[in-house]
Structure 1
Amino acid sequence: MTESTADHPGATAPARAARQGTRRPAVLLGAAMAVIAAVLALWLRPAGGSIDGHSMVEGDTTLAAAALEHLPDGAYGAVVAEVTPQGTRTAAIGVPLEGTVEIGSVSKGLTGLLYADAIERGEIEPQTPLGELLDLGDSPAADITLEELAQHRSGLPRLAGGVGTFARSYASAVLGTNPYTGDLAGLLADLRAADLGPREPSYSNLGFAALGHALAAAAGMDYPTLLHGRLAVPADLSALSLPSSRDELGPEAVQGRDQQGRRPQPWINEAYAPTGTGIRADAATMAQLAELMLAGSVPGAQAMEPTADFHEGSIGAAWFTDTINGSEVVWHNGGTGGFFTWFGVDPEHGTALFLSAATNQPVDQAGQALLAQAGGDR
């Protein structure tokens, strides 16, 4: 499955067609963008200083060496965790082992666990309308069910904002700034104004932001409190955090990088936190999450069970299930301005893999290859 789940606004799907009267401007714009892309291809070549076989390693050196074999060029630090029936290993390359990284859209998987947990608690039902929990008036979004949000088939766009979102995206890429600056009131306004598309599989950051805040409303708390009390504490995810500002980033926070080695701003935004802005963790914490998911004892474990088709595979509550390297894998990935991440569990073989690198290059293939190697020959 090749579904792109990075959080960047620039991942929004392009318009399918242009009006006849706009063809010439569109052609000129396309030519200009092609020139810009060619320049950027040279400008964004990996700079010196990225990790390699001579970089500092903490933790399991064999696991670190395996990760280096698969990581893309232009990574300036990486953390990896492997869970197998034989035990758990963690490693860090170029960064401290206890360093925390932005997990990006893997956060949606955490929101999915909170969704399934809320159903088990009787706080919500899959068919609960979004408008019962959030102030959406009589807007079309009010009739979306929580299940539709959890399965990415709500009809909501990937992100709100239209042309403004594209502008912020390009500014963010060039300047290394955080493109997510709105608050919860703005998110609700975007939901009320949203035009819905077909109720079919279509990845939506906006939808998962809505789901997370709806779950918090059902529980009578805000999303950070929900995440902490319902998941981080009972699952003993000791280094899972959701800072509300840069001032709350501790010394363990790894600095994100792009492929050029620049240092983008951290993505911190409570409105979109349920979808992938702000949540951080270290390798040991993600290994703990993987162990609980494999054991079926994580809060909201039912979220991993497929409930609907999603392109070539299937989806539960946020978690995708696909055949990867011959095994059924439950997974999610993510990307922010300074990190790309992949997390997957293979229930049949009792293995799991978490990989996050300080780069703006996807690490999906690296994570999948490392998961296939986990536990040795099968």
Structure 2
Amino acid sequence: MPRAEPFGDIETELATLAASGNADLAVAVRDSDGQWTRYGSSDAARESRFEIGSVSKALTGSLFGVLIAGGDVDPEVPVDDVLGERLPWRAAAPTLVDLATHRSGLPNTPRALFLREMATALGFSTKDPWRGVTNDTYRTHLRTAARRARGRDRFGYSSMGVGLLGDALAAAMSLSFEELVRTRLLQPLGMTRTGLDRPTTGPDVVSRPMNGKGVALPYLKDEMPAAGMYASTITDLQLLADALIDTPPAPVADGLRVATTAHHHLDEKAQLGLCWFLSGTGSTREIAHSGGTWGSQAQFSVQPATGKAVVALTSTHRRIDLFAARYLAADAR
């Protein structure tokens, strides 16, 4: 999380944030009394669905924690044993917990798609970087990446690793990944508008991501849904924040504790839970994840000890992480 500057009046802060982009923005902030204040750059934005990018990884990590707590999976088992498929790893196959703590040695995205993704993310292209990539194509990319992967104690942020974790959890439970997340995590939390779908009509249409020039971009649709393909609302993500701060629903309570416990130490200030980024101690302990697709951005941050939280979703590129950092660092109001 960036260093926090002094926080001003919340309405002024939110108005400044809204003015910094050219598309919808929705923000919810929770104060130390547990009260939420919601804001949208339009009234409709407060109820809109947005792509949440890598905040999807936090959902995957939370699901992983629920399955560990329920005795459904062993976090220390090699991923190949769960998949029933031997990938050509350069060294030993990573375990499930290696995947969840970004120690698989896999790259963030397939090397062959890196320049395509960068061109769209930076506004030089409006094409879908994953156009023409089938599941078979992706499995070829995955095998190539496994041959090059250097394991296991070295941190390297990897969407491919978390994508593979999602595949493994689905295989372990003999369900599609989407169904597994829905039944074991989202339903118990009451998160009814979070999913992989991109409907073309109706109230659950996802806000179209935009580049900095105000041009519409494709929705994210890749072969790694566990790593970045979810869409959600601030209302749904408030429920997740409340569960991490207050008493969670019983079916997920133990799992969320497992997911937000440190499983790998990055340095003296930062640790990794199961996909979650953890920082601080005591009253400043923070559980967080940020995300982005080709245009959309998301920030999810909670401080369990103070009871404060920030959920921010937008369909264009903005520095919403700085807003979250300032709010959480400010004295309770």
Fold shared by both chains (TM-score > 0.5)? yes
Change (3 A) 1:374 1:128: farther
For normalisation by structure 1, the TM-score amounts to 0.75
Is 2:214 the partner of 1:261?
Answer: yes
Q: Tell me, in whole angstroms, the C-alpha distance in 1 between the residues paired with 2:79 and 2:303.
A: 32
Q: Tell me, in whole angstroms, the C-alpha distance in 1 between the residues paired with 2:28 and 2:71.
A: 34
Q: Give runs of aligned pairs for residues 296-375 of structure 1, distance below 5 A.
A: 297=248, 299=252, 300-301=255-256, 302-311=258-267, 312-323=269-280, 327-373=284-330, 375=332
Q: Tell me, in whole angstroms, the C-alpha distance in 2 between the residues paired with 1:135 and 1:95.
A: 49
Change (3 A) 1:339 1:374: farther
**3-state secondary structure, aligned to 1:234:** helix
Deviating above 6 A after TM superposition, structure 1's stretches of 4 or more consecutive aligned residues are none
Aligned residue for 2:126? 176
Measured against aligned partners, the alpha-carbon deviations of 1:76-127 in whole angstroms (never above 9, x if no partner) come to 2210112232422222113512111111100000000011111112221111
Unaligned runs of 5+ in 1: 3-61
Change (3 A) 1:246 1:170: farther
Q: Tell me, in whole angstroms, the C-alpha distance in 1 between the residues paired with 2:200 and 2:23.
A: 23
The answer (yes or no) to whether the contact 1:91–1:283 under 8 Å persists in 2 is no
**3-state secondary structure, aligned to 2:149:** coil
Unaligned runs of 5+ in 2: 3-8
Q: Tell me, in whole angstroms, the C-alpha distance in 1 between the residues paired with 2:320 and 2:331.
A: 16
Shift of 1:246: 5.3
Q: Work out which of the two has the higher radius of gyration on C-alpha atoms and give 1 or 2.
A: 1
Change (3 A) 1:375 1:249: farther
Change (3 A) 1:368 1:138: closer
Aligned residue for 1:154? 104
Change (3 A) 1:100 1:132: same
The answer (yes or no) to whether the contact 1:306–1:316 under 8 Å persists in 2 is yes
**3-state secondary structure, aligned to 2:238:** helix
Q: Tell me, in whole angstroms, the C-alpha distance in 1 between the residues paired with 2:178 and 2:149.
A: 28
Bigger relative contact order, structure 1 or 2 (CA pairs below 8 A, ≥6 apart): 2
Change (3 A) 1:95 1:254: farther
Q: Tell me, in whole angstroms, the C-alpha distance in 2 between the residues paired with 1:207 and 1:191.
A: 10
Count of matched residue positions in the alignment of Structure 1 and Structure 2: 312
Shift of 1:262: 1.3
CA RMSD of aligned residues (A): 2.5
**3-state secondary structure, aligned to 2:85:** coil
Change (3 A) 1:167 1:288: closer
Q: Give runs of aligned pairs for residues 91-170 of structure 1, distance below 5 A.
A: 91-94=39-42, 96=44, 97-137=46-86, 139-140=88-89, 143-162=93-112, 164-170=113-119
Measured against aligned partners, the alpha-carbon deviations of 1:296-345 in whole angstroms (never above 9, x if no partner) come to 52622121111211255111101111239x82211000111121111101
The answer (yes or no) to whether the contact 1:99–1:254 under 8 Å persists in 2 is yes
Between the aligned residues of both structures, percent identity stands at 24
Aligned residue for 2:5? none
